[in-house]
Structure 1
Amino acid sequence: MTRSNKNRRKVRWGRLFGALLLIGIIIVGLFHIFQYIEGTIKAVNQPLKKVERKQTFQGEKNKLDAINVLLLGSDSRGEKQARTDSIMVAHYDPQTHKIKLISLMRDMLVSVPEHGQQKLNAAYSFGGPELLRETIKENFGLDIQYYASVDFKGFEKAVDLLVPNGIEVDVPYEMSHGIGMTLEKGKQQLHGKELLGYVRFRHDRLSDFGRIQRQQEVISKLTDEAVTLHSVVKLPKLLGLINKYIDTNIDGSTLLTIGKDILMKKSRDIETIRIPEDGSFQNKRDEVLGDVLEVDFDQNIEALNNFIEAKSSVQNEAQKE
């Protein structure tokens, strides 16, 4: 056999191998897409987890308007009156595709219906998401249509599923007290359990203020991870975690509408605010409740309304044109 024939045979085998490899990639890709579609359809057709309560969540829903979702991090530990470590409201506008995140300080002194002056997170202990919704409405005038209470174990599992290699954070100092672990100072990759400790830590000079900053940081980074291709194929498993670890009244179609905007990067950037804002509260010591934040409600209601109604500079310029 001549050298030229050998070369042609090598070329043909090389082309054949390349073609088989390409076909294999396509088949694997189609298989994952099929799994994604099939799993998503099954997840949407199944009702999301609902926990029977003495009270139902009474937020009025209108699919044409912007919606507010009460986001809660719950540490039940088997207790009947669960605590909530984090209280946030996610504001989503289907017209602008914008997502805004409102963090509410749990130690704010507020009026809780039928319970008088209490810390904000006490409303959840007394009456679950519904009483907390009523409390936020009464004190800040904010309507909330949906809620999602995330069990801490669910947070850990969701992080490990979405970002198996962890998320890089810059730990400002050693964190250990009250989180069941020790996080060393410096940049490092944190996985689900460690990341939960990072967002829960509050025993420093910033207390809850620092914790809220870390919560907003982690949510922003998780959102960035959610738009990647490898996370899209995990959507059915993520919906499965929702059914197991999240108590919510959000219907599947609403969840997918918001998720679609995130995946298409329409809602990539999340704007954040903390209530109470700087200069609008005083630290007080209550004989019964302990340390509380005495809030200027008028100032914070105005700040909250301005934050929700504000449009981005890009949108303002587009409207001018």
Structure 2
Amino acid sequence: MGKSERRNKKRKRLRNFFIVTTLILLVGIIYGVVQYKSGLAMANKGLAKEEETLFDDFEGADPQFGEINVLLLGSDSRGEEVARADTLMIAHYNQTTHQMKLVSIMRDTYVFIPDYGYHKMNTAFSLGGPELVRKTIKENFDVNIDSYAIVDFTGFSKIVDVIAPDGIEVDIPYAMSHGIGMTLQPGNQVLNGEQLLGYVRFRHDIHSDFGRVERQQEALSKLKDEAVSIHSILNFPKLLGVVEPYINTNVDNRTILTIGKGLLIGKAENIETLRIPVENSFEDKRVAAGAVLSIDFEKNKQALQQFLSTEEIKK
């Protein structure tokens, strides 16, 4: 075989490789656009976006030592009513260990809100949005928050159905119906998005609001497991389309991709959880603001800081 023929074959292979690669990229782009538009078609106008202009500038601290604290707020917007933070969590991610931790702060926790005095924890959101919630957490627990994400509950069910189209399995301890527009029967059940929303929002629990917080942490942990599956990776553009109207966040795309990549390659399988107030650190009281959880601030501050610390992760 002559040099000229070998060169022609090499050029032909390179040309074919270029054509195939271009076609794959083109198909991928088309697939992503179609999936994203499909997600947008599933979504309605989210209230979390409408509230964005009402918020003060968020002055979160820069992440330290590769650790990220994101304030997660479940917005209970209802049209004419003032939005409330029906759910308040801190999502902690360590970029070195890829460990994710989740802290739930109960809404009735009686805290000092800067410039407003003592109120229930969820009042901070209605008074000053995520920035005032950040200040309140810093004031009472001396924990820095880097970013925030507000999720409109009306979009939660659609997000679940994209991440877990076959549903999420939970063990329901007793029949749940009051206030959620459906009846969930006791026992092991596989719930779709709308049913899972009812499961995590059910308030008439024999354990009061403590049971609801446990169910919220359980649901997010299981959704995290589904989110790193092959199915969810392939449906990522569609998920972005669904999420867009329902989430208001200042988390930049680079951080989102970093966390997503870390969860995919990380060894940590389970999300560690904590509830504030911790056990034996509070008492029920009735004040002008209503029924509240009067807490031992020092005990809870220490528990929260230890839970989020690098030293805790290394143990």
Q: TM-score, normalised by structure 1?
A: 0.81
User: Which range moved further: 75-84 or 171-180?
Assistant: 75-84
Percent of aligned pairs with the same amino acid: 52
Q: Aligned pair 1:106/2:107, yes or no?
A: yes
**Which residue of structure 2 lines up, in the alignment, with residue 191 of structure 1?**
192
String of CA shifts for 1:156-182, please: whole Å, max 9, x gaps: 111011111111111100111121211
Displacement of 1:93 in angstroms is 1.4
Number of aligned positions between the proteins: 281
Check conservation: 1:73, 1:150, Cα contact below 8 A.
Answer: yes
Quick one: which of 31, 34, 41 aligns to 2:28?
34
Q: 1:34 to 1:124 in 2, by over 3 A?
A: same
8 Å contact kept, 1:284–1:292:
yes
Any gaps of 5 or more consecutive residues in structure 1? 1-25, 44-48, 317-321
Distance 2:272 2:27 in 1: 32
1:279 maps to 280
Q: Which one scores higher on RCO, CA 8 angstroms, separation ≥ 6?
A: 2
- State the AA in 2 paired with 1:233: L
CA distance, structure 1, for counterparts of residue 113 and residue 277 of structure 2 = 17
CA distance in 2, matches of 1:310, 1:252: 24
Q: Tell me the C-alpha RMSD between the 2 structures.
A: 2.6
Task: Check whether the contact 1:225–1:231 (CA below 8 A) recurs between aligned residues.
Answer: yes
Distance 1:76 1:184 in 2: 28
Q: Within 1, Cα distance between the matches of 2:273 and 2:55?
A: 33
The 3-state SS of whatever aligns with 2:149 is: strand
Q: In the alignment, does 2:291 pair up with 1:291?
A: yes
Contact kept in structure 2, 1:71 and 1:88, CA below 8 Å? yes
Q: Distance in 2 between matches of 1:33 and 1:261?
A: 27
CA distance in 1, matches of 2:298, 2:30: 48
Structure 1 position 63, deviation (Å) = 6.8
Residues 1:68 and 1:79: Cα distance change in structure 2 (over 3 Å) = farther
SS in 1 for 2:54: coil
CA contact (8 A) 1:33 1:233 kept: no
Cα distance in 2 for residues equivalent to 1:79 and 1:138: 31
Q: CA deviation digits over 1:23-80, x for unaligned, max 9? A: xxx99xx68982499559x99xxxxx79223411110224753111000111101236
Larger Rg: 1
1:161 and 2:162 equivalent?
yes
8 A Cα contact 1:113 1:135, kept in partner = yes
Question: Which stretch shows the higher mean deviation, 232-241 or 187-196?
Answer: 232-241
Quote the Cα distance in structure 2 between the aligned partners of 1:307 and 1:85.
23
Partner of 2:57: 56
Indicate conservation of the 8 Å contact 2:147/2:251, yes or no: yes
- Summarize the Cα distance change of 1:209–1:54 in structure 2 as closer, same or farther, 3 Å threshold: closer
What is the deviation of 1:95?
A: 2.0
Shift of 1:312: 6.8
Are the structure 2 counterparts of residues 181 and 78 from structure 1 closer, same or farther at C-alpha, using a change threshold of 3 Å?
A: same
Cα separation, 1, equivalents of 2:67 and 2:136: 20
Are 1:97 and 2:91 an aligned pair?
A: no
What is the SS of the residue equivalent to 1:52?
Answer: helix
Query: Retained in 2: the 8 A contact 1:84–1:124?
Result: yes
Alignment-derived partner of residue 231 in structure 2: 230
- In the TM superposition, residue 109 of structure 1 has moved relative to its aligned partner by 0.5
For the residues of structure 2 that align with 1:305 and 1:255, how far apart are their CA atoms? Answer: 24
TM-fit CA distance, 1:299: 0.4
For residues 239 and 294 of structure 1, do their structure 2 counterparts lie closer, same or farther at Cα, with a shift above 3 Å needed? Answer: same
Contact 1:261/1:267 (CA < 8 Å) preserved in 2? no
Shift of 1:99: 0.9
Contact 1:146 1:250 in 2 (8 A): yes
1:300 corresponds to: 300
Structure 2 residue aligned with 1:149: 150
Could you tell me how far apart the structure 2 residues matched to 1:232 and 1:59 are? 30
Give a deviation string over 1:139-169, Cα, whole Å, max 9, x none: 1111001110101122111101111111111
